[in-house]
Amino acid sequence: MRHVNRRFVGTGAVLIAAAIGFFVYMMGMAPRSNDPKALMETVGEVSGVASAVGVMLIVLGLRGKKSA
């Protein structure tokens, strides 16, 4: 029997929410930037990586670990 690692799942969910929040926040700041296209490309990459790490944490957390 495997036990779900709730810390991994919770941390992954928070990381995904933070990535979405960061992306939305930076969308509001992009019009004031000198180069909004380059800014949003960088923000999109960072948000994508953070979301991917969050998804990986959720998958590992749901997979769980074997009980002793």
Compute the distance between CA of residue 65 and CA of residue 60 in angstroms, rounded to an integer.
9
Residue 4 has pLDDT above 80, yes or no: yes
Comparing 24-28, 48-52, 62-66, the range with the smallest average pLDDT is 62-66
CA distance 2 to 45: 34
- pLDDT at residue 52 above 90? yes
Res. 24 pLDDT band, cuts 50 70 90: very high
pLDDT band at 1 (very low <50, low <70, confident <90, very high): confident
Question: Which helix or strand (DSSP H or E) is residue 66 part of?
Answer: strand 65-66
- In this prediction the pTM is 0.88
